[in-house]
Amino acid sequence: MRVPALIMAGGRGSRMGLPTEKPLLPFLGKPLVDWVVQAVASAGKVSEFYVIASANTPETEKYCLAKGWKVLHTDAKGYHNDLKQAVLRASLIGPVLTMPSDVPAITGRFLDKVISEFEVCGKDFLAVFVPIKTRQDLGLSISSTDEYKGVWYAVSGVNIIDSAKIQCDGKIETSAIITEETEVLLNINTIKDLEIAEKIMMKTKKV
């Protein structure tokens, strides 16, 4: 199975408190979005990718277009609506891999593993969660959480969903990967997150 990927890069990034759009923030010498694109492009199970921009991220949109990447512009009315719009505008069918533009440690190997897990899980949606305590112990922020089987986790933003289900409002059968792996542990929401993540990446020789 090979699936298309959507890199979500249209949010305000207001928690960063900087004039620079978050996808373009330098991380160990290159913009955050570059790290994610590099991973997606190296994943054997990803067929194509799109960067999802909006009126919140005009410089990101220009940057990605200049790189020759496929860009979809959405209305920035929330993550779910942006996802719906992107899937419709790209005429995507079947499973779609989604991820934020602020997970610089993500790798093609990890994304291939997620897609392989989706193939065998038998569900319409597969989410990747991180234990909240693991992020807290590293001094990382907790920006978004979700419950799975009675336990709350930090949301990594890396998911696979059947595109047909994106357009529906009904209940979606869900599976999850719970992991402490660096690839999704380092989700950048604040300047402190960025500084901690850079130190971890250099220490673990992920660069």
pLDDT at 20 (0 to 100): 86
Q: If 0-12 CB within 10 Å is exposed, 13-18 middle and 19+ buried, where does residue 44 land?
A: exposed
pLDDT at 10 (0 to 100): 86
pLDDT at 158 over 90: yes
Instruction: Give the mean model confidence (pLDDT) for residues 147-168.
Output: 90
pTM of the model: 0.93
Instruction: Give the mean model confidence (pLDDT) for residues 176-200.
Output: 95
**Region of poorest pLDDT, from 16-20, 93-97, 121-125:** 16-20
Break the chain into its structural domains and give their ranges: 3-203
Contacts of 205 (CB under 8 A, 6+ apart): none
Contact 16, 57 (CB under 8 A): no
pLDDT level of residue 94 (50, 70, 90 thresholds): very high
**Single-letter amino acid, residue 53:** A
For residue range 9-59, list pLDDT tens digits in order: 987 666 666 788 999 999 999 999 999 999 999 999 999 999 999 999 999
Q: Which residue has the higher pLDDT, 113 or 207?
A: 113
The string of DSSP codes covering 97-121 is: EEEES--TT--HHHHHHHHHHHHHH
Contact 175, 165 (CB under 8 A): no
pLDDT at 63 (0 to 100): 97
Across the chain, mean pLDDT equals 92
Contacts of 107 (CB under 8 A, 6+ apart): 39, 42, 183
Q: What percent of the chain has pLDDT over 70?
A: 93
Query: Which spans in 10-57 are helix H?
Result: 32-42
**Region of poorest pLDDT, from 62-76, 140-154, 167-181:** 167-181
| CA-closest candidate to residue 114, choices 178, 164, 163, 52 | 178
Which superfamily, per CATH, for 3-203? Spore Coat Polysaccharide Biosynthesis Protein SpsA; Chain A (3.90.550.10)
Furthest-apart CA atoms within the chain: distance in Å: 45
